[in-house]
Amino acid sequence: MKYLVLIFVLAISLISSEIKFEHNFDKALQKAKNQHKEVMMMYSAVWCPECRYMKEIVFKNKKVNSYIQKHFIVLSKDIDKDKLPSGFKYIGIPTFFFISKSGKEKGRIIGGGKADKFLVKLRTIK
């Protein structure tokens, strides 16, 4: 019984440390306002290996993960399924748009990269 509780607690802590992806722009913006954060909108595709690398490796990096969770609500948009909100343009994927509380773009990162380098870029945005 003791072990079961321990496993349950560990599982919960693992789940809670995963970045939760929002899919609706307005909802993400509202959530960001409520939590005093900004929106990081990732424009990606299932078939894009660089995007998968970011989601599967970089976002799971401890430092990157905690930095993102602390400062951003992550909105995920798929190039094949979703249109970008008006006013947002891209030249390649993955592109990370950083959106202020007023809904305007305040910066962007084009392309992914290793966790340490991505974190440096994130820090220059916020």
Partner 1 sequence: MKKIVIFILICTNILFAFSAKDLQALREDGYCTQCDLSYADLRGIDLAMSDLSDTNLSHANLNDTLAHKADFSHSDLSYATFENSNIKGANFTDANLKNVNFFEARIWKGNFTNSHIDKCNFNESALGSAIFENNNLKNSTFKDAILYKTIYKQNVIGIPK
Q: Give me the residues that bind partner 1 (CB under 8 A), please.
A: 49-50, 53, 57, 92, 111-114
Cβ proximity to partner 1, 50 vs 105, nearer residue: 50
Give the up-direction half-sphere exposure of residue 115: CA atoms within 13 A in the CB hemisphere: 14
In sign, the C-alpha dihedral spanning 20, 91, 106, 24 is: negative
Cβ proximity to partner 1, 85 vs 113, nearer residue: 113
Cis peptide before 49 (omega within 30 of 0): no
Query: What are the distances in angstroms from CA 43 to CA 15, 74, 120?
Result: 23, 11, 20
Buried b (16+ CB within 10 A) or exposed e, 35-63: eebbbbbbbbbeebeebeebbeebbebee
For the bound state, the minimum distance from the C-beta of residue 35 to partner 1, rounded and expressed in Å, comes to 31
For the bound state, the minimum distance from the C-beta of residue 42 to partner 1, rounded and expressed in Å, comes to 16
Cβ proximity to partner 1, 27 vs 114, nearer residue: 114
Cβ proximity to partner 1, 53 vs 85, nearer residue: 53
Q: Which helix (H) or strand (E) holds 61?
A: none
